[in-house]
Amino acid sequence: MFDESVPLYKHVDVVVIGGGTAGFAAAIAAAKLNKQVLIIEDHAYLGGTATAGMVCQFLGFNKGETTESQVGILDDLLKRLTAYHATSGVQTIYLSGIKEMGVGAATYNPDALKLILDEMVTAAGVEVLFHTRMITAITEDEKIKSVIIHNLSGIQRVEADVFIDASFHGSLAVAAGCDYKLGDDDGVLQPGTMMYRSDHVDAAEYHDVPRSEKKQLANQGVAAGALNVGNLLSRSLPDGTFYTNMSRVKVDPLDQEAYSQAEITGRKQISLISQYFKQSVPGFENAIVTDTADQLGLRDSRRIVGLYTLTNQDVLTSQTFPDTVASSDYPIDVHDANGLSSVLKKPAGGQFHIPFRCLQTKIANLVLAGRCLSTEYEAHACARVMATCMRLGEAAGIAAADSINIGIPVNQYDGQRIKTFIQ
């Protein structure tokens, strides 16, 4: 449909589609290796689900990791958030209140994150086109020649030596001809969530409510049709506001009518949840909703079929790989389709590992970054969290730049080289 008669916007060394936690890290990593890098981003800011979805808490750290023990881009980011007093730093939380499910988590203020990501890409010399959507790709002989973008300047083309798909939906990979999987064996996807923040919460009063009472309040709220989750999932942020992760909306993101309706349902659920909290949850009597996420957060979308697919078994048996680029003790965490609870499974060895080959595909000059990586369904449910996405993004950016330097197609690049670049 599109060909090279479409006006050329520019040629860069590396173009990154999507500036979420994976995409911004990929861009910075490639720029640090002296490549000219362009991010194409639909929103008006970076961060993706971390900012637009208002997730507010980095997960995906590894056993024993602290704020101070980080390396690479995640280290830089946490230091900057700390300087802005905008993160709790890495602390242990217990998923579903289960002692064995303790994991490292770092809350952050999403507005501070937007500002810091701007600062980080600017410092690295990365160019960003906001308000711009990649709509398809021109591909020949399993190599991408250019991507087609659309913004208020019209429809244009971007050429690059290496293309990074950090779009979460794997939209570039699919446009280039990669296969994908969606959902579990029955096509069922995890529910989405519309996040919101509240102010004027009496934090001390809320924290003093015993766990058993919180559980009872949650169950009462579910029975009353006000809540969608059997736990009170509201946490304080460094700026004193509380963010709440309690709406649950079933949605197939590839069905645009359903996806649009889901945004409306998410906001409606927030109205019911926040009213219930005000009426029934100690500490929230005077709470006001200050903001809702710009978009329904989606836990699931396409998983691209890559050169290696991380299996559920790999995760559960803590399989190691020579080209591991991210390791984490975050368990498989599948939110059931009805939203009420999560299935949690820890790897036998306490942690799981992701090889670089999950980011490589049959397309010579394409590398995946973030949660569109090649995994089975349950394996995805532990790989998708943000510290892991940043590590995958950093690996993708290094591979993109280094593969250009050594003259090897990025889909033949040896991922064992990546760790030597990360400090």
* Residue numbers at the binding site for ligand FAD (CB under 6 A): 17-23, 40-43, 48-50, 53, 55, 57-60, 133-134, 166-169, 171, 193, 245, 297-299, 370-371, 384-386, 389
Where do we find the tokens 């993160």? 87
- Closer CB to ligand FAD, residue 59 or residue 287? 59
Query: Three-state DSSP class for 45?
Result: coil
How does strand 37-40 pair with strand 234-236? unpaired
Q: What are phi and psi of 364, to 5 degrees?
A: -60, -45
Give min distance, CB of 281 to ligand FAD, in A: 20
Instruction: Quote the CA–CA distance of 253 and 187 in Å, as a whole number.
Output: 12
Residues 6+ apart with CB under 8 A from 115: 84
Give min distance, CB of 106 to ligand FAD, in A: 9
- Closer CB to ligand FAD, residue 184 or residue 216? 184
What is the distance of C-alpha 7 from the center of its chain? 32
Report the residue closest to ligand FAD, judged by CB. Answer: 20
- Closer CB to ligand FAD, residue 315 or residue 385? 385
- Closer CB to ligand FAD, residue 171 or residue 403? 171
> Would residue 301 be called left, alpha or beta, if left means φ above 0 and alpha means ψ between -120 and 50 degrees?
beta
- Closer CB to ligand FAD, residue 208 or residue 268? 268
Give min distance, CB of 223 to ligand FAD, in A: 23
Amino acid identity of 339? G
Strand partners, 28: none
Give min distance, CB of 120 to ligand FAD, in A: 14
Residues 6+ apart with CB under 8 A from 191: 248, 249, 250, 251, 299, 335, 337, 338, 339
Give min distance, CB of 285 to ligand FAD, in A: 26
Give min distance, CB of 125 to ligand FAD, in A: 20
Task: Look up residue 392 and give its DSSP letter.
Answer: H
- Closer CB to ligand FAD, residue 102 or residue 322? 102
Instruction: Quote the CA–CA distance of 419 and 423 in Å, as a whole number.
Output: 8
- Closer CB to ligand FAD, residue 190 or residue 411? 190
Number of CB atoms found within 10 A of residue 1's CB? 6
Give min distance, CB of 406 to ligand FAD, in A: 26
